A and B are shown apart, each in its own frame.
Chain A
Amino acid sequence: MALFDFFLLEAIINGILFGGVLALLALGLNLVFGVVDVIWIAYAELVMSGMYIIYTLHITWGWPLLLAAPMAIVGVGLMGLVVHRLIIAPILDTPPINQLLATGGLLFFLQNFATLIFGADFRNIGLSLPILQIFELYISFSRLLSFGAAVLGMIGLYLFLSRTYIGTAIRAVAQDREIMSLMGVNTKKVYLITSALAGAMAGLAAILLVLQQDVHPFIGFSFGPITFMICVMGGLGNLIGGFFAAFIISQIISIGSFYGSTELSYVIAFVLFIIVMFIRPQGIFKRNT
């Protein structure tokens, strides 16, 4: 096998596009951790909920997809708000293990609730987006869309956090929630807004995933662990760190799989993760929102 070939280029490009999906997933999870200091173990299940919202509105109720898709952002945004208000807020000042267990419980609740309502069947919106072909190089438009959305999401979030009043408040609370409380900032309101924003990011991820994956109650098994790993590797709570870690992991998986096998690539990714945790337990990038 040649060291570099045309197919390798295709694998690298696909790795970058896959990284876009992962980066988008990592953004919301990191945002919540960075500000509220809570890990939403059930984050991928919120994405799953968004996918079901789109499926129900579009396929069952017959809404146009362009109308159904934004409702996932609104719906999961509201879910984020409710999750914080009902589950996180009452135990925010208790040991972190309680929050972890509570969101873990939410994970099983959402999985089983979806099974109860929709059954265990695999569902699909049956939409096939065009494929970009450049000579023998094929690029999936749905993945290109995810990549673009991830980049725009990152820029949008950055602008929101750096240029708006509430964004500045969020960053301030992320840096020191106790001091900000003493200075009269309503941290509860900031937490609520942050949770809704993270939910909305999950809704956006749902729109892009529903174009690429089947909708089923257990899709979190495919994306949950890897998203969490990316967030930890990039430095939990560090948006930029998570963004870049997503592309590092996706390239390891893509190139590792290209030269070895799909199974081997995940072994390499997890071994690298363990090594990073030994060398830099705080993640590759210093935690800083």
Chain B
Amino acid sequence: MNNLSKQFFRLGSVTLLGALLAVTPFTTFAAKEIRIGIIYDLTGPLAGAGSVPASIGTQIAIDMVNEKGGVLGKYKIVPIKGDAQSKPDVAINEAERLINLEKVDILAGIYSSAQAVPLSGKLNAMKKFFWINVAISSAVFKNKNLRYVFRAQVHSDQFGQTSLDFLAEYAQKKLGMKPSDIRVAIIHEDGPYGSGVASSNKIGALSYGMKIVHEEGYSLTTPDLSSMVIKLKRARPDVILHTGYNPDITLFLRQAKELGLRFKVLIGHGAGYGQIDKLVEAFGTDVDYIFNVDPVAAQLLDAKTLKPGIGDLTKEMVRRYKKITGAKEVPPHTSMGFNHTWVLLNNVIPVAIQKYGGFDSESLRKAALDLDIPVGGTIQGYGIKFARPGHKMAGQNLRASPVVMQYVGGKTYIAYPTALQNIDPVLPLPASSPYAAR
């Protein structure tokens, strides 16, 4: 080997060594990171209907875990955010970007059922672990036997049934009517979310023998609902069961008032009805005594009924959310975003790593199926046990349950189930309400 060759050899060796030294720390560092793709609607009509509060809840959970060194104290969570822009096609594109370009290990989030339904099938086929935080449509899981998709959230069949169970419970006591005498109207946005809840509303109403006097779907971007309101006036329902996002909910409430629609009870089902701050801003005291079915906003629960330490978790979530947003009330969507992400980071991923050897989709799936949190074990009160493959709702949390909340004086109270109640529900609407039947 001549001098020139030796010099080349030395230079090459030094370069190779340098490159190895440079790459090694990154490789080690990369192994300590868990990349999670988080998709929510940060823009578009759904952003203001609860998706942004949910995304903030998710970020708070990630921050709290990372502040303690990450999962198991050593795996930092790197959230890679995607904005679905309130459109299913954009959600799918964002999921593909996060998986193929950002190489995320897990995909989580999702507010809209219209996005959750196509995404769940697609990601399951790709064997990508998908953790749904907010979207509720039962159609995501029903008879699909998904293996890599999990949802700790309540599903839409429960939403629709709970409002009817509540009505049946209080029909005689408060309305002085037999359940079978109640005239019910079901109105809803026409996506998977609204249609899913409306369908279970219908099944529930029929199971109690209630009369369904009107049923109608509409597009959430419709600029006018006056004809539907007029038909409701003609149908004279005692109870209106409404499922919508925003701005359709505020449009309905405004036009209902302007056109003199009267009823005894209005029960909303999450989404826009969960945003009490926004409803009060638009309608003031007019929204008093409206009911909302949703998984509970964690801060409404009595911490003494929960596992020790859970109450402190809720307090910290509320403190951080108010600090970030300046909001007075913390909507249920924040609890959903926080709670379900917290469970993923603290109860699923650690088990996947310790028991199954990593955080690949297969290990995560096994860890999720092992999950067995009893009632009172999460900030929203319910436990978590996922339906196993072969079950008609495989992947769905079988222990989740919603509550019925009531708005009074700009504050939220739990009206049902009676075990969690912190208000004696007010129904029918008192005469002070502009919607009260006269």
Contacts A222-B222, A257-B228, A262-B216 given; does A120 touch B44 at CB 8 Å:
yes
Q: Is A126 an interface residue (CB 8 A)?
A: yes
Q: Is A195 an interface residue (CB 8 A)?
A: no
Please state if B219 and A126 are interface contacts (CB–CB under 8 Å).
Answer: no
Please state if A122 and B223 are interface contacts (CB–CB under 8 Å).
Answer: no
Please state if B230 and A11 are interface contacts (CB–CB under 8 Å).
Answer: yes
Please state if B250 and A263 are interface contacts (CB–CB under 8 Å).
Answer: no
Please state if A223 and B223 are interface contacts (CB–CB under 8 Å).
Answer: yes
Please state if A136 and B260 are interface contacts (CB–CB under 8 Å).
Answer: yes
Contacts A138-B259, A258-B227 given; does A121 touch B278 at CB 8 Å:
yes
The residues in B between 321 and 344 inclusive whose CB is less than 8 angstroms from any CB of A are none
Q: Which of A87-95, A157-165, A180-188, A210-218 contacts B (4 or more CB under 8 A)?
A: A210-218
The residues in B between 197 and 250 inclusive whose CB is less than 8 angstroms from any CB of A are 216-219, 221-228, 230-231, 233-234, 246-247, 250
Please state if B45 and A218 are interface contacts (CB–CB under 8 Å).
Answer: yes
Could you tell me how many residues of chain A have their Cβ less than 8 Å away from some Cβ of chain B? 47
One of B42, B224, B250 near A122 (C-beta < 8 A): B250
Please state if A122 and B247 are interface contacts (CB–CB under 8 Å).
Answer: yes
Please state if A120 and B216 are interface contacts (CB–CB under 8 Å).
Answer: no
Q: Which residue of B lies closest to A138 (CB)?
A: B260
Min CB distance B275 to A, Å, is 8
Contact partners of A253 in chain B: CB under 8 A: 224, 227
Please state if A11 and B278 are interface contacts (CB–CB under 8 Å).
Answer: no
Min CB distance B257 to A, Å, is 8
Q: What's the count of A-B pairs with C-beta under 8 Å?
A: 125
One of A123, A142, A221, A261 near B281 (C-beta < 8 A): A123
Contacts A11-B230, A261-B216, A262-B218 given; does A124 touch B250 at CB 8 Å:
yes
The residues in B between 30 and 72 inclusive whose CB is less than 8 angstroms from any CB of A are 42-45, 47-49, 52
Q: Which residue of B lies closest to A221 (CB)?
A: B221
One of A7, A120, A218 near B230 (C-beta < 8 A): A7
Q: Which residue of A lies closest to B43 (CB)?
A: A115
Q: Is A112 an interface residue (CB 8 A)?
A: yes
* Interface 1/0 per residue, A89-125 and B, CB below 8 Å: 0000000000000000000000110010001111110
Q: Is B190 an interface residue (CB 8 A)?
A: yes
* Interface 1/0 per residue, A121-142 and B, CB below 8 Å: 1111010100101001010101
A213 to B230, CA, bound (A): 18
Contacts A7-B233, A219-B247 given; does A262 touch B278 at CB 8 Å:
no
Contact partners of A273 in chain B: CB under 8 A: none
A23 to B250, CA, bound (A): 23
Please state if A218 and B44 are interface contacts (CB–CB under 8 Å).
Answer: yes
Q: Which residue of B lies closest to A129 (CB)?
A: B258
Please state if B43 and A213 are interface contacts (CB–CB under 8 Å).
Answer: no
One of B43, B49, B190, B226 near A263 (C-beta < 8 A): B190
Contacts A126-B284, A262-B222 given; does A218 touch B227 at CB 8 Å:
no
Min CB distance A272 to B, Å, is 17
One of A14, A214, A218, A221 near B226 (C-beta < 8 A): A14
Contacts A212-B254, A263-B218 given; does A254 touch B226 at CB 8 Å:
yes
A111 to B224, CA, bound (A): 21
Please state if B226 and A11 are interface contacts (CB–CB under 8 Å).
Answer: yes
Contact partners of B284 in chain A: CB under 8 A: 126
Q: Is A285 an interface residue (CB 8 A)?
A: no
Min CB distance B264 to A, Å, is 18
Q: Is B86 an interface residue (CB 8 A)?
A: yes
Please state if A214 and B282 are interface contacts (CB–CB under 8 Å).
Answer: yes
Contacts A258-B230, A262-B222 given; does A126 touch B43 at CB 8 Å:
no
Q: Is A289 an interface residue (CB 8 A)?
A: no
Contact partners of A258 in chain B: CB under 8 A: 227, 230-231
A10 to B260, CA, bound (A): 11
The residues in B between 281 and 319 inclusive whose CB is less than 8 angstroms from any CB of A are 281-282, 284
* Interface 1/0 per residue, A65-98 and B, CB below 8 Å: 0000000000000000000000000000000000
Please state if A138 and B258 are interface contacts (CB–CB under 8 Å).
Answer: yes
The residues in A between 179 and 234 inclusive whose CB is less than 8 angstroms from any CB of B are 212-214, 216-219, 221-223, 226
Contact partners of B224 in chain A: CB under 8 A: 14, 18, 253-254
Q: Is A270 an interface residue (CB 8 A)?
A: no
Q: Which residue of A lies closest to B52 (CB)?
A: A120
Please state if A216 and B247 are interface contacts (CB–CB under 8 Å).
Answer: yes
Please state if B251 and A257 are interface contacts (CB–CB under 8 Å).
Answer: no
A217 to B221, CA, bound (A): 13
Contact partners of B257 in chain A: CB under 8 A: 128, 131
Please state if A133 and B260 are interface contacts (CB–CB under 8 Å).
Answer: yes
Q: Is A238 an interface residue (CB 8 A)?
A: no
Please state if A122 and B227 are interface contacts (CB–CB under 8 Å).
Answer: no
Please state if B247 and A262 are interface contacts (CB–CB under 8 Å).
Answer: no
Q: Which residue of B lies closest to A21 (CB)?
A: B223
Q: Is A265 an interface residue (CB 8 A)?
A: yes
Contacts A122-B247, A122-B250, A263-B218 given; does A257 touch B48 at CB 8 Å:
no
Please state if A213 and B281 are interface contacts (CB–CB under 8 Å).
Answer: no
CB pairs A–B below 8 angstroms (16 shown):
A11-B227, A14-B226, A14-B259, A18-B226, A115-B43, A120-B52, A122-B278, A122-B282, A216-B48, A218-B43, A222-B223, A226-B223, A258-B227, A261-B228, A262-B217, A262-B228
Q: Which 8 residue pairs across A and B have the least CB separation, nearest first?
A: A120-B47, A257-B227, A140-B258, A262-B218, A124-B282, A138-B260, A222-B223, A14-B226
